[in-house]
Amino acid sequence: MSVLVFADSTEGKFKKSAFEVVSYAKKVAEQLGSNVVAITINANNNEELYTYGAEKILSVTNDALSTFNAKKYASVIEQAASSVGASVVVLDSSIDTLHTAPLLAVALDAGYASNVVELPSSTAPFTVKRKAFSNKGFSNTVIATDNKIIGVAKNSYGVHENAVSGSTESFDAAIADSGVTSEKLERVTGKVTIADAEVVVSAGRGLKGPENWGMVEELADVLGAATACSKPVSDLGWRPHGEHVGQTGKPVASNLYIAIGISGAIQHLAGINASKVKVVINTDPEAPFFKAADYGIVGDAFEVVPKLIEKLKAFKQAS
Amino acid sequence: MKILVCISHVPDTTSKINFTEGDTKFDTNGVQFVINPYDEFSLTRAMWFKEKQGASVTVVNVGNATTEPTLRKALAIGADGAIRVNTDATDGLSVAKQLAEVVKNGGYDLVLAGRESIDYNGGMVPGMLAALVDFNFVNGCVGMEVDGTSVTAVREIDGGNETLSTSLPLVIGGQKGIVEEKDLRIPNMRGIMMARKKPLNVVEPVSAEDATSIQSFEKPAPKGAVKLIDADNVDELINLLHNEAKVI
C-alpha cells in the first residue's frame, strides 16, 4: 500500500512543486506506515527525488508524452497506482494537474481533495484541510473512498529534505487514445510566470494607464518577480487577461506579493490570500488592502516605486 | 448541436463568508446567490453557438429547490430549458455522477461548465463528468470554435495558451476568455417573462455515494495590523522584507 506521488517536470527538469509534493507524500507515507513511490514522465534526473523521500521511482520515457495530455497522463498515473497498489495518490495543483486529476479520480474511483494546505490531520478517517470559498475559508474534508487523491496547493507545505537511498526503474505504460491533440503552444518565454513566481508585483488602476507599466516591470525584474494586475486593469485591456489576479482570475500563492495602486476589492483579496507576505503601496490610507497587508506605504506610486527600484538595486548589489 | 451547460449556484463574489452550527455549515444568512461566474462565461458561449450556429441549450444544476432562481436566471439569459437534479450537491464525484446520468439521457454533443465553482473550488466536476461519459475534455478553456463535429479549443497554460484540436462529444471547463466579460448578458424584462414559461424539469437523483464529506470549516486566522512605513523611507521596507519577513 504505497503512497504514489506524481513528480511533474518541464523539458526533463523537475518543477519546484515536484519536490514539494514528494516531501508531502513522504510525510503521508510515514503517517500510514508506508513507503513513497514517485512516477515521473520524461524526467532527466530522477535521483533528485531521493533527497525529498522518494524511495522508489517509476520512470516513464515516451515520446508520445512529450507534450502534456491530460488523458494520457491520467492513464499513466493510474497504471502506476495499480502497479504498486497505491491507495493514496499525491499531486501538485498546476494548471495541467488540475486538468489530469479529475480524470484520474474517475479511473481509480477515488475521492479527490484539491487545494490541500496541510498534512492529513487524521488518516482514519482520512481528513485533509483544503482551501475553499476562494481563499476566504478552509474545509476539513474527509475522503471516504478506499482510493484517495490529494492535490497539494502550491507553496502550502514547502520543500523539505528527507534523503533516502532510492531506486529507479523504467515503467512501461500503455498510452491511451486521448481524443485531444495539441496543435500549438504559445508561451511567453524569458518571463517568470505567476504560477511559478516566488514574488509577484501587481498593479491596479492607480497606475492610470498601460504606458506606466514600465516601472512595474522594472521592479519585477529587480526582484525576479512575475507581473500581475487587478481585474479592472485586464478588463480595460491595459494588461493581458493572464495577469489578472483574483477570485475569477489567477490565484497567487507567492512568498511576497506587492500591490501597487490596488484598492483591494474582496474578489482581489480572495485571489492573493494565500500569499505569505503582502506589501501595499497606495495613496489612499483608507484602501481596504491595508487591512490585509503586512507592510504598507501610503504614498504616490510614481514617487515610491522608482525609489524602491533604485534602493533594491543597491541592496541586490550589496548582498 | 445539443448543448448542456452545468450551472453551480454560488454565493456572490462580494459575499463575506461565515459558518454556523459549530462551523459545520456555510451560513447563507444575508448571502445573495448567483450563477457561478465561470459557468456564466460558458453559458454565454453556449448562447453564442445557439444564435450563430443553431443549437439548443439546456442548463442543469444538482441542488435542492433553493437553486431554482439561479436556473431561472439562466433561462432568462436565453437557455431553452432547465433541469434540476433534486439532491444536495455535497461532493464533486457524486455531482459528476448525477450530471453523467443527465448527459446520457439527453444525448448532448457539447457540455459546457466552468472550470471550478467559487464556493468549494474543487475544480473536478467537468473532468470527472467527461471521464464518466467518455467525452473528450478540455479544461481552463479560453476560446473555442465548432465546425461540424470538429472542435478547436484554446486552453490556458502556465505563462501562455495551448491550441488543441478535438471533436464532439466534448466537455469544456470554461473561464474568462471563452467569452469576454463585456459580452456577459444581463436578463432583460422580456427574457425574465419568457423564462417563466420555459420548462424547468426536476429529476430525481440516481444512487451515488459521496466520495468526500466536509467535517468542519475554518476561517483564516485573523491578521495582525499592517506595519506602515513612511513613503520617504523605502530603506525601512527593504530592511523589513529582508530581516523580518525574510522574503528578499
A95 and A142: one domain?
yes
A153 and A207: one domain?
no
| pLDDT band, residue A196 (cuts 50/70/90) | confident
A288 belongs to a structural domain: yes
Q: Identify which of B137, B176, B241 has the shortest CB distance to residue A256.
A: B241
B232 belongs to a structural domain: no
Extract the C-alpha cell encoding B24. 459545520
Nearest in space to B28 (alpha carbons), one of B64, B61, B60, B62: B64
Chain A residues with CB under 8 Å of B220 CB are 135-138, 273
Find, in chain B, the residue whose alpha carbon is nearest to that of A315. Answer: B238
pLDDT over threshold 90, residue A188:
no
Mean pLDDT of B106-120: 97
Question: Do residues B108 and B4 touch, judged by C-beta distance below 8 A?
Answer: yes
pLDDT over threshold 80, residue B213:
yes
pLDDT of A263-288, one tens digit each?
999 999 999 988 999 999 999 999 99
Residues paired with A227 in a beta bridge: A201
| pLDDT band, residue A61 (cuts 50/70/90) | very high
State whether residue A90 is helix, strand or coil: strand
CATH code where residue B28 lies: 3.40.50.620
Which residues does B40 contact at the CB level (< 8 Å), separation at least 6?
B34, B114, B184
How far, in Å, are A48, A132, B137 from residue A182 at the CA level?
29, 32, 13
pLDDT recorded at residue A102: 98
B237 belongs to a structural domain: no
Average pLDDT, chain B: 97
A176 known member of a binding site = no
A232 and A135: one domain?
no
Question: Do residues A154 and A17 touch, judged by C-beta distance below 8 A?
Answer: yes
| pLDDT band, residue A192 (cuts 50/70/90) | confident
A241–B231 C-beta distance less than 8 A: no
Where does a domain end: A135, A170, A205?
A170
> Using the 8-state DSSP alphabet, how is residue B23 labeled?
T
pLDDT of B160-190, one tens digit each?
999 999 999 999 999 999 999 889 999 999 9
A153 and A263: one domain?
no
A180 touches chain B (CB under 8 A): yes
A293 touches chain B (CB under 8 A): yes
ipTM score assigned to the predicted complex: 0.96
Q: Which of A89-98, A156-165, A247-256, B104-113 is predicted with the least confidence, judged by mean pLDDT?
A: A247-256
Nearest in space to B98 (alpha carbons), one of B128, B67, B138, B66: B128
pLDDT of B33-74, one tens digit each?
999 999 999 999 999 999 999 999 999 999 999 999 999 999
Torsions phi, psi of A181, nearest 5?
A: -120, 135
pLDDT recorded at residue B33: 98
* A-to-B residue pairs, Cβ atoms closer than 8 angstroms: 268
pLDDT over threshold 80, residue A190:
no
pLDDT over threshold 80, residue A189:
no
Extract the C-alpha cell encoding B218. 475554518
A127 and A254: one domain?
no
Find, in chain A, the residue whose alpha carbon is nearest to that of B135. Answer: A179
A166 known member of a binding site = no
Residue linked to cell 491533440: A181
- The number of domains in chain A is 2
* Ranges assigned E (strand) in A148-198: 148-152, 167-170, 181-187
A164 and A235: one domain?
no
Question: Do residues A38 and A91 touch, judged by C-beta distance below 8 A?
Answer: no
- The number of domains in chain B is 1
Residue range(s) defining the domain that contains residue A270: 194-318
Q: Identify which of B127, B157, B164 has the shortest CB distance to residue A181.
A: B164
A157 CB neighbour count, 10 Å cutoff: 18
